[in-house]
Structure 1
């Protein structure tokens, strides 16, 4: 029996989706493992800022190791019990939520560094940074597990027994009102708006200080110029975050507010892998634009891949700068 053209076309879309997701997962894991490795190798980078960056990298590693494989499995429509499928879907929400909160934590950290540069090191201590990271992950678990507490599609399945299997699909177990009102409006729009406001304030403060040339010292002028360069990278991060995450949530909104509207499966797949590709972009935007990080990465590459002996110390000239208020050389 020959397959119909429609089935073949759908199989081709599924195969292309799995292939793209696999590439994204590999790039995300490789890039973010390097982020963690560089911070572990270079003691000069073990400060509060990189504490948040490592947290983001861990979340993005989990996206590559867990979220993307689970998304592929769910897309295949395997047969599982309802709560097994629900738990797998909640894992996707937990890990992606932790990535968003890590991005917000970095934005807050950069804002405090510009707003109160002289008091930053006394207010944002290493211990407080660890507490903030832990709170972010706890909050991610709490918000991601909300569907397990009852906000799910169990009742919509009819007289479903606890042992009966269903075709595991994300929309079959997760309610769209949860995804739109709670997840999107509450935990995407709000953090995104906060990041836009924070980065806008960063630009305002930096411009304000740079315009006071008569009062500015050479060190202060150099400090804020470096911060301005970094702020431009942060603006790019906000733009990429919005571009990568908004499509899938817009699709969810269309599905929720317009149930009769038809959305091709290919369009849904594009929205899904765009949200995942943000995890692969984060190392390049956040980490590889920072000079001490880049130098350490090059030395690791020379030592491990080219079998060259490592230098006696990593980024020796950068260590003092990283412990003062001007701790990020670009």
Structure 2
């Protein structure tokens, strides 16, 4: 049987916290801390790999780099979520507002980058002849920067009342909450879920159809085909493989994000208890840890780069020129 006590025993206006058995508390802290550390470590390996090795700095990999940066911050953000396990926030109203604002920005940016990845694969598969001119490293960097900027402004607009007066919506001392009106829930559902998911699904449906037709064409081409044509088919095959891998990333993203927004739009308090809500949030955050695992499973260059980094070969002069393919 769980007991309750005040977050700040000396204050009558303090919030109540749940007091669990010490073994349960230690287990929860250990599991969440491990997930946070793993998320930070794995995404840091992705960041170092793509940033250091020149051969890996293609437009598609730059998008993976941008996603790894946002996922890295999600891992750091989870450290603050651990502080809320017992229902008490001890860092003050200003830090609470900044924490939620930062979480808002990082989450929105990750969703925006997922859209950019879908657009990248759409152009690569459906318009391969113009891919190199339409999708350049410079344009990718501009688009990623816009994702961060737009996410920042969206978060500031949604949380403007909380930024003006941190803690204005809390009901007791030790609570970390921000405004959560029906309008804000609906706007989040539309802007951060419905529109992005619709765009991603439509683009990848088109990619899938074209990829299937191209795969059939590659299987059926005859030996008399010219060498130039063979090269084109090989390039297309590699693009299709990349689309498949990134498709897995997006499917995992959808699986992790859908429960969270379904709960949010229908009203979490009426549907789930605290444990169920924690599971939904954990599933949502775990996506940031799963992405590097997918890269390790499908990308040989990532496994090779991990080996080079862990064996400290990356410190050797000229290691950035290493052949990673």
Range class of TM-score, shorter chain:
0.7 to 0.9
Take 1:11 and 1:104, find their aligned partners in 2: how far apart are those partners?
41
Q: Does 1:166 align with 2:173?
A: yes
Which residue is equivalent to 2:275? 266
> Are the equivalent residues in 2 in contact too, given 1:24–1:276 (CA < 8 A)?
no
Q: Deviation of residue 285 (structure 1)? A: 2.1
Change (3 A) 1:195 1:279: same
Which residue is equivalent to 1:197? 202
Q: Deviation of residue 83 (structure 1)? A: 5.2
Take 1:312 and 1:244, find their aligned partners in 2: how far apart are those partners?
35
Q: Which runs of 5+ in 2 are unaligned?
A: 5-17
Which residue is equivalent to 2:322? 314
Take 2:29 and 2:193, find their aligned partners in 1: how far apart are those partners?
26
Which residue is equivalent to 1:325? none
Q: Deviation of residue 79 (structure 1)? A: 5.2
Q: Identify the match of residue 46 of structure 1 among 57, 62, 67.
A: 57
Take 1:235 and 1:141, find their aligned partners in 2: how far apart are those partners?
27
Q: C-alpha offsets along residues 249-300 of structure 1, whole Å, 9 cap, x if unaligned?
A: 22223326xx6x3521111111111111100111122465223333233233
Change (3 A) 1:254 1:10: farther
- TM-score, length-scaled by structure 2: 0.80
Q: Deviation of residue 57 (structure 1)? A: 0.8
Take 2:89 and 2:221, find their aligned partners in 1: how far apart are those partners?
68
Take 1:181 and 1:137, find their aligned partners in 2: how far apart are those partners?
22
Change (3 A) 1:299 1:80: closer
Does the residue aligned with 1:166 lie in a helix, a strand or coil? coil
Which residue is equivalent to 2:107? 96
Q: Decide which moves more: 99-108 or 224-233.
A: 224-233
Q: Identify the match of residue 291 of structure 1 among 297, 300, 315.
A: 300
> Are the equivalent residues in 2 in contact too, given 1:244–1:277 (CA < 8 A)?
yes
Q: Which runs of 5+ in 1 are unaligned?
A: 319-330
Q: Does 1:70 align with 2:77?
A: no
RMSD over equivalenced CA pairs, Å: 3.4
> Are the equivalent residues in 2 in contact too, given 1:107–1:199 (CA < 8 A)?
yes
Equivalent pairs counted in the alignment come to 302
- TM-score, length-scaled by structure 1: 0.79
Take 2:41 and 2:27, find their aligned partners in 1: how far apart are those partners?
21
Q: Deviation of residue 233 (structure 1)? A: 2.1
> Are the equivalent residues in 2 in contact too, given 1:241–1:278 (CA < 8 A)?
yes
Change (3 A) 1:125 1:182: same
Q: Deviation of residue 135 (structure 1)? A: 0.1
Q: C-alpha offsets along residues 97-151 of structure 1, whole Å, 9 cap, x if unaligned?
A: 1112122211211211112222211121222111111101001111222233238
Which residue is equivalent to 1:225? 237
Change (3 A) 1:108 1:296: same
